[in-house]
Chains A and B, each alone.
Chain A
Amino acid sequence: MNTAFKALSDPTRRRVLELLKQGPLSAGELADQFDVSKSTMSAHFAILREADLVMSEKQGKSVVYQLKMTVLEDALLGFARAFGWELTPTTTSEDKT
């Protein structure tokens, strides 16, 4: 659960989860939605996978992600988004490397 809290504490990762609510998306499609480098996005994806909040599958050359959240984790995401909850320094649109 600790890794889930960590994963949900970042606005970029929360936005990734919100985008995945509309359906499975490839890593490229998700990265296009953010103004951050690919390596930063990869780190975000790794944290989300580590927290077991997303499931990834290879499709040809790309990786497709889909949500893997319990109702409780989904509700936590809603709370985190509503209250702008952040535990760690943010890695948002400004940190383009």
Chain B
Amino acid sequence: MSTQNKKSSIGEALAIFTGLGLFGGVVVAALGKEFGFIEPDVAKRTVGVLFGAILMVSGNYLPKAVMPISARRKNPARAMAAERFAGYVFVLAGLASAIVAFTTTAGGVIFLSSMIGLGAFVLVGLNWLIMLVGGKAAPEQSIGADFTQDPQMPQMRNGVLVILNALMWAFAMMVTDHYFGDTASKWLLVPFFIVNGLLGISMVRNKKKEE
């Protein structure tokens, strides 16, 4: 294993442990609230701060978990700029979300921090759409054909995308719960599982291609 690959693996392992640790914190806070050994307000703030932290960590790693140039179908320069933009938006929104969860009144913690998180996803989605509409590769920018290596998707990219997808639906469910109630928010589990399933299928297909 080359030094670069070793470092990459250490980075991926650190990112995975950080992600798992933060998710573990959310689960502990939720269970603590359920079984009464953590005050409900403290639990809400903890979940808000941890969700913000997860968004920051995932956003930070998103531009580093790059797709190989040979695997990109669109203009790689625009796609990379869009990913860098997404990284910055998620880091700043995660920071804002965590600060709001720590400082606002207990009643508005979950709603406000979720709105900030969801707003970040909407902004990134819109930017991505603009990139897709305007970013078609010109003939001289066509890529992929001359590459001698098969594209290998970094595992970190899959991890970051799965975490961000889960986080987006969690924010959406909390905002929906605030406006339309518990039943409506539970319905969002359907698209969540569909999107997660599609992500899983795409990852398995990429893994098979690598093999």
B70 close to chain A: CB less than 8 A: yes
14 extra A-B contacts, CB within 8 A, seeds A57-B149, A67-B66, A71-B88: A21-B84, A23-B80, A50-B3, A52-B11, A55-B66, A58-B148, A59-B147, A59-B148, A64-B69, A68-B63, A69-B63, A70-B87, A71-B59, A71-B62
A11 close to chain B: CB less than 8 A: no
State whether A49 and B4 are in contact (beta carbons under 8 Å apart), knowing that A66-B66, A69-B64 are contacts in the complex: yes
List chain A residues, Cβ under 8 A from B59.
71
A interface: dominant SS: mixed
A88 close to chain B: CB less than 8 A: no
A14–B147 CA distance with the chains assembled, in angstroms = 27
Interface residues of A (CB under 8 A from B): 3, 21-24, 49-50, 52, 55, 57-60, 64, 66-74
- Contacting B60 at CB < 8 Å: which of A59, A68, A70? A70
Q: List 19 A-B contacts (CB under 8 A).
A: A21-B84, A22-B77, A23-B75, A23-B76, A57-B68, A57-B70, A58-B148, A59-B69, A60-B148, A64-B69, A67-B80, A68-B63, A68-B64, A69-B63, A69-B64, A71-B91, A72-B60, A73-B64, A74-B84
Interface contact A70-B61, CB-CB below 8 Å: yes
List chain B residues, Cβ under 8 A from A71.
59-60, 62-63, 84, 87-88, 91
**CB closest residue in chain B, given A22:** B77
Q: Which of B59, B64, B87, B146 has the most CB of A within 10 A?
A: B64
Binary per-residue interface labels of chain B (72-99) against chain A in the complex, 1 for a CB within 8 Å, 0 otherwise: 0001111011001001100100000000
Interface residues on B, range: 20 to 34
Binary per-residue interface labels of chain B (122-166) against chain A in the complex, 1 for a CB within 8 Å, 0 otherwise: 000000000000000000000000111100000000000000000
CB distance from A94 to the nearest CB of B (A): 29
List chain A residues, Cβ under 8 A from B84.
21, 67, 71, 74
Q: Which of A59, A70, A74 has the most CB of B within 10 A?
A: A70
